[in-house]
Amino acid sequence: MRPKSVAIVGVCLTLGAAAAVAQAAVGDTLGVSTLVQRIVPSGDGDFKTLTTVPGEGYISRDGSDEGEAVGKAKPGREQRRKSLAYFGQMTDFQLADEESPARVEFLDPEGGAFTSAWRPGEALNPFEENEIIKQMNAFAGTPPNRSGVGRRLAKMDFVVNTGDIADSQQYNEVLWNRQLIEGARVNPGSGVDPASSIGDHPLCPEGLKIQDAGDPSLYTGVQDRDDWADGQVGYFYDPDAPAHYPDGPGVVRPYAGAPAYPGLMDRAQKPFRAAGLDVPSYMVFGNHDTLVQGNAWASATFNKLATGCLKPVNDAEANSGLGNGPLFGLVVNPSLTTAQVLELYEDNPAYFIGVPPDPDRRLISKKAYKDIFKAGDDPDGHGFGFVDRAEDTASKGSAGYYSFSPRRGVRFITLDTNSEGGRILVSSEGNLDNPQFEWLEDELKKATARNEVVIVFSHHAVTSLNANVPDEEAPSCGTAAAAGAPGCDADPRISTPIRLSDDLFTLMHKYANAIAWVAGHSHDNRVIPYPNPSGAGGFWSIRTAAIADWPKQNRLIELFDNRDGNLSIFGTIIDQAAPVPIPADGTDAAGMDVTRLASISRAIGYNDHQTGGEQCGPSRCGEGDASDRNVELLIKDPRRREPDLTRVRVFPKKRTVTAGRQVRLTVRVTNTGTAPAKGVKVRLRSSTRRVRVPKTVRIRRIGRDATASINVRARSRGKTRGRTRITARAGGRKAGMVLKLRPRGGRR
C-alpha cells in the first residue's frame, strides 16, 4: 500500500547538478536531468503545450516512512563514498506496429481496463525511444550524481530494459527494438504488397478492399479517416485534420483541439538510422513481450489475424452506432477460429478495414524472442547469453531469467515475471513459476556466500505479482492442438505452485543481501521501502515510468558504499532527449526530422485524454511524488565484514640488472573488501635459479578499500644472462615482472 506520508531525511542538490542549473537553455533536454529542469504543461487551451521549470534535488530517504528505517544517513558520506555500480533503466516502450490487424484499438473508448488499447502518439514511439537512448548515452560517461569531491566519476556499466519493449509479441516490434539499441537502420512501417495473399491467406479473403494496396509504405489504420468505410472517425486522432468530425450531442471528439500536422502518419513510417546505446544493454521479458496485447496466449488464429488483411476497427459507439460486443467476443475467445473471424466480417463488414498484410507481424515464442537478441551485435545476447544452460535445457529454450555481475561485489538478477497461462484481464499482472522461484533462491544463496549485494530486475514489481494462473492454462507445445500457436507452453516442467507477492516478499526478506527490486509495468514513478518484519534490514522497490505514456521518463541508478555501514542508492529521473517545443499547428510533417517527431509525441502523450498528465489531478499521471523521483535511498550494508584481495601488481614491469647485483621491486596489493586485511602473506617465485627472491613476505595491514606496498629485493647470481620472470601471489591473485640479466662488463 502507498504510504500516506513519506519521512524525508533531507533534500540536497549535488555540486555538479547545481552548477548545471544555469547552463540549461529553455527547451533543451539532451544531457539535462530533472535535477536541472522539469517539463510541465503550459497554457490553458484544450491542448496543452509544454515548457520547462527548474528541477528538483535529491530527497534522502531512510525507509522510516514504513515504520522501521532500513538505513541511516550519516554526515560526511559524500566525501567517503565509493561507487559500486552505475546503470540506466529503460522500461515500457510498448513499441506498437500501429497498422497491425492484431491491435485492439476499438476497445480504447471503453476506458477502464482498456485505456492502453490505443495511444494518440503511438506511431511516433520509435522516435521517442531513439531519444531516450541518446539521453542514456549523454550520461554514460558522466553520472548525474557527482558527490564525492575528488573521486573519479564512475562510468555507466550497462542499461537494462525492464520489459514491454513490444506492444503485442510481434516479430517486427521486437526486431525494431534490437535495431534501436544497436544503432541499426529501423523501418518502423509495416505492410507488403497484398497481391500474393488475397485468396491464399485465410484472413485475406477475395473481394476485400485493401487500403493503400498500391503503396503499402503509407500509413494504414484508425488514424487516417480515408481508411474508414464512411470516411468519418471522431475518437481517434487524425493529424491530417483533427477536428474534421462534426460536433453534436453525444459525439466523442477528444482530440478535436489537437494540432494538425498533415502527413504525420505517413512520415512516421519512414526508415531512419538509430542512435544505438554506447554501453551494454540487457533485456527483461514484459507481459506485452510474451502475450498478445499483454494478456492472452498467442493461438494459431491470433497469429493468422496478425499476419492477415482483416483489421478489426470501431469508432466510439456514440459515433459509429456499433457496439463493441461482437469484436470483444472475438478477442477474449482463446479457442477463436479463422472461420469465426470471417463469419463476423461477412455478417458486418463495417467492423473491419482491409490493410496490407505482413509476415513480419507474426507472433513469436519466448525462444524466438531470445534468438532475435542473441543474433545481434552484443556478445552476451543482450543478457540472454547469461541464461543458465541447465535452466535453458530443462525449459526447452524458454527460460528468460539470468544473473550477471559486471563489477565485483554486486550481483544483478533478472526475472521473467510473466503469467504465461494467458488468462485475459488477469495475466497482465505477474507471477513466478516454481522452477524459477527455486532458481532465484539458489542465486540469492550463492550471492550471499560470495558476499555480494543483490539488485533484482523484473517487469512487474513485487506488489504486481498476483496472477494466480498456472502456465499450463496455455496448451502444451507438445500437443497437436497447439500446432502453430507461438504462445503454447513450451516449458515441460510443472509450473505450480505459482509464486505470488507474499512468496517474494518472504524470500527477499530472508536474504538481507537483496537490497532493491527495480521494475516497470505500472507506468509511474514510485519508490517504496519494505522493511523486514523481523527488524533485520529490508529492501527498496523502485518503479519507473514509461516511455509509452506520460511523463515519458526513465531512470539512472547509482549504488554507493558510504563506508559507514550504509549504502546509498541514487535514482535520477531523465526525460527523453528531444527538444520541448513542438511545431506550429498546421506544419507539414514531410520535412520533420526524428527529434521533431519525438517532441510531438511527448506533447501528444501529455494530452492523452485517458492516461495523459491531466487525467490524475494535481499529481499528474505517472509522475509520482517528489519522493519517488530524484532520491537517495539509504540502506544498511548487509555484507559481512571481511577483506577481499582483488589485485596484485609488481613494479617495475621490466628491468635490466647486472649479474651479481640486486634490484628492488615493489609489490602492491589492493583490498576492496568490507574490512581491513591483516597479516597479508605475499608469496614470491623466480622462474629460474639465476635469480633469488624471498619466498614469502608479509604486509602488516591493508585498510578497507585501500592499497598497500612492500619492497622486496631480487639478487642475480654472479655469472648469468637471459630473462627471469618474478611472480607475486596474494589472496588468489597474482602478477609478475620480467628481469633481463646482463653479464658483468656487458654493454649498457
The amino acid sitting at 329 is G
- pLDDT recorded at residue 7: 57
User: 549 to each of 68, 128, 525, 621, how far by Cα in Å?
Assistant: 34, 11, 12, 9
As a three-state string, the secondary structure of 590-657 is: CCCCHHHHHHHHHHHHHCCCCCCHHHHHHHCCCCCCHHHCCEEEEEECCCCCCCCEEEEEEECCEEEE
- If pLDDT is split at 50, 70 and 90, which confidence band does 151 have? low
> Poorest-confidence range of 266-275, 442-451, 705-714?
705-714
Tally of CB atoms within 10 A around 47: 16
* Grid cell locating 75: 554526515
- pLDDT recorded at residue 330: 87
Kindly give the residue spans of alpha helices, DSSP state H, lying in 465-573: 501-510
Note the pTM of the prediction, 2 decimals.
0.92
Question: Closest by alpha carbon to 671, among 705, 709, 701, 710?
Answer: 705
- If pLDDT is split at 50, 70 and 90, which confidence band does 22 have? very low
Domain spans, the chain: 10-194+274-347+357-636, 645-742
The amino acid sitting at 158 is F
* Grid cell locating 267: 512520415
Tally of CB atoms within 10 A around 732: 8
- pLDDT recorded at residue 18: 41
* Grid cell locating 655: 628491468
Q: How do residues 123-137 score in pLDDT, each as one tens digit?
A: 999 999 999 999 999
Tally of CB atoms within 10 A around 668: 19
Buried b (16+ CB within 10 A) or exposed e, 125-138: bbbbbbbbbbbbbb
Give Cβ neighbours of residue 377 (< 8 Å, ≥ 6 apart): 182
Spatial distance between the Cα atoms of 553 and 548, rounded to a whole number of angstroms: 9
CATH entry 3.30.465.10 includes domain 645-742: no
Spatial distance between the Cα atoms of 1 and 639, rounded to a whole number of angstroms: 29
Is the predicted pLDDT of residue 17 greater than 50, yes or no? no
- pLDDT recorded at residue 4: 39
* Grid cell locating 558: 547509482
In which element (H, E) is residue 372 found? helix 366-374
* Mean per-residue pLDDT, 504-526: 97
Q: Which CATH architecture does the domain made up of 10-194+274-347+357-636 adopt?
A: 4-Layer Sandwich (3.60)
Full DSSP string of 35-91 = TTEEEEEE-SSSS-EEEEEE---EEEE-SGGGSS-S----TTHHHH-EEEEEEEEE-
Question: E strands, 174-276, where?
Answer: 185-186, 272-273
Spatial distance between the Cα atoms of 621 and 525, rounded to a whole number of angstroms: 10
| pLDDT > 70: percent of the chain | 95
